[in-house]
Amino acid sequence: MRPTDPDVSAEAGLLEIRQVGMDRIETVRDLNVTIFDEERIINTFDRDGVMIFLAFVDGTPAGFKLGYALGNEKFYSAKGGVLPDYRRRGIARALLYEMLDAVRAAGYERFVYDTFPNKHPGMTVLGLEEGFEVVKAGYSPQYQDYRLRFERKLEPETEPDG
């Protein structure tokens, strides 16, 4: 656990992003129900390379982000969200940064996620701001929105000088 952006801390309490295991899945489930109004988090956790991150504000769970491997080179960020009362304080961006760091450190080459831009505009705007490109688009009759796939290549970690 480590403190993240100090600006966020000053404005909205101490923000901590922690990578957690399946033992915290009930916390994710509670957040998921509040944010998405559904019990299902993702279809299955029987996936390779599952990573789960929780955001805490002053120790209270405020958001989550989780994903898994799609083959050896690609990591798929499958779902994430922030509780309504905690939005627009940089928490989704902090979760993304932590996940990008962990995914890069694990040796993946590309980071991808899908989002529905009309239903949930936040991850479209954030993705474009953070250097992602749209690599696929199609209409989903189930969600009655376009599904955009965002992708970003991950630069290999550089060794510190000296």
Ligand X SMILES: CC(C)(COP(=O)(O)OP(=O)(O)OC[C@H]1O[C@@H](n2cnc3c(N)ncnc32)[C@H](O)[C@@H]1OP(=O)(O)O)[C@@H](O)C(=O)NCCC(=O)NCCS
Stretch that binds ligand X, among 11-19, 20-28, 82-90, 102-110 (CB under 6 A): 82-90
DSSP string, 6-59: HHHHHHHS-EEEEEE-GGGHHHHHHHHHHHHS-S-SSS-S--TT-EEEEEEETT
Burial of 5 (0-12, 13-18, 19+ CB in 10 A): middle
Q: Does 93 bind ligand X (CB under 6 A)?
A: yes
- Specify the residue, 67 or 90, whose C-beta has the smaller distance to ligand X: 90
Minimum CB separation of residue 33 from ligand X in Å reads: 12
Q: Does 35 bind ligand X (CB under 6 A)?
A: yes
Binding-residue total with ligand X (CB under 6 A): 19
Q: Which of 88, 142, 155, 161 binds ligand X (CB under 6 A)?
A: 88
Tokens standing for 62?
């405020």
- Specify the residue, 80 or 108, whose C-beta has the smaller distance to ligand X: 80
Q: Does 87 bind ligand X (CB under 6 A)?
A: yes
Stretch that binds ligand X, among 38-46, 85-93, 104-112, 138-146 (CB under 6 A): 85-93
143-147 contacts at long range (C-beta below 8 A, 24 or more positions apart)? 143/116, 143/119, 144/119, 145/116, 145/117, 145/118, 145/119, 146/116, 146/117, 146/118, 147/114, 147/115, 147/116
H or E element that contains 111:
strand 110-115
Which of the residues 98 through 157 are near ligand X (CB under 6 A)? 115, 120-123, 125-126, 129
Q: Does 82 bind ligand X (CB under 6 A)?
A: yes
Per CB under 6 A, residues contacting ligand X are: 35, 80-82, 87-93, 115, 120-123, 125-126, 129
